[in-house]
Chains A and B, each alone.
Chain A
């Protein structure tokens, strides 16, 4: 299936993602930050669709936007935010933080301008029709061990979260 208007959608979605990201780190109200993060995650799912990865996009919508962000919103509602909204928002080491972030940004710019020639200019033709089947073949074949470990990790995380949040152990 031929892609339609790729540059337009790419720039639109990246603008949405970047504005959402800036809103996440600058909003005073954590609920607004969470909503901005949801917008960013949904835009990222759309970019995954542009990258011919529909299964990852579906997983992103279900798990990230529909699961993790609901968890975040519940916790924000449980934790009182009125007092935290009246306090100072940026901590005392913000100058050092910005210097470090600028250094990291400089590193990224250096890598991506000097190393432009590493990436070949074409993309291999990836068939979208069987994406789920291909992912399933890898997930249950080559990466079966990692799959089992991931389920063990989730079990540990569930038990850990329950123990952490209980009133009396």
Chain B
């Protein structure tokens, strides 16, 4: 039904109103893009870490959407593991940030260059 209507990028009313898995995947992709832009363009380390959390959330959304599509809760269990993992990673990342800030008094990611030659 979706493929027969149009093959382009412009959605029609029926595609917009009937929410399918594809809608959730597109939302996840948009969040992923925002996270990637944040990681690549911001100078503040804390905001880079928060953009990484956005990326992980986008992945979670994909997983849970597919879990809904195929039945069973395997995707949801994987999403729970990713959330746990994100917690651990945020804790360690912020610990490193505090240790670095104590030495150099800046949160600018461009100045994390002690090993630069």
Size of B's binding interface in residues, CB under 8 A: 82
Contact of B36 among A52, A104, A121, A156 (CB under 8 A): A104
A17 to B60: give the CA distance in the assembly, Å: 14
Q: Give 1 or 0 for each of B1-37: 1 = CB within 8 Å of chain A CB.
A: 1110001110000001111111111110111111111
Take A63-B83, A91-B42, A98-B37 as given contacts and tell me if A37 and B68 are in contact as well, using a CB distance cutoff of 8 Å: no
Take A89-B43, A112-B26 as given contacts and tell me if A138 and B92 are in contact as well, using a CB distance cutoff of 8 Å: no
Contact of A37 among B53, B60, B71 (CB under 8 A): B53
Chain B residue nearest to A25 (CB atoms) is B38
Take A30-B47, A51-B24, A100-B36 as given contacts and tell me if A68 and B87 are in contact as well, using a CB distance cutoff of 8 Å: yes
CB distance from A167 to the nearest CB of B (A): 8
User: Which B positions have Cβ atoms within 8 angstroms of A?
Assistant: 1-3, 7-9, 16-27, 29-38, 40-44, 46-47, 49-51, 53-54, 57, 60-61, 64-65, 67-74, 76-77, 79-81, 83-92, 94-99, 101-102, 105-110
Extra contacts besides A53-B64, A56-B76, A63-B84 (18): CB < 8 Å = A21-B54, A25-B38, A25-B54, A27-B47, A64-B57, A64-B87, A72-B50, A81-B107, A84-B107, A94-B40, A108-B32, A116-B22, A119-B22, A131-B76, A157-B87, A157-B89, A158-B91, A162-B95
User: Which A positions have Cβ atoms within 8 angstroms of B?
Assistant: 6-7, 10, 14, 17-18, 21-22, 24-25, 27, 30, 33-34, 37, 40-41, 44, 47-48, 51-53, 55-56, 59-60, 63-64, 67-68, 71-72, 75-76, 78-81, 83-84, 87-94, 96-98, 100-101, 104-105, 108-109, 112-113, 116-117, 119-121, 123-126, 131, 134-135, 138-139, 143, 146, 150, 153-154, 156-158, 160-165, 167
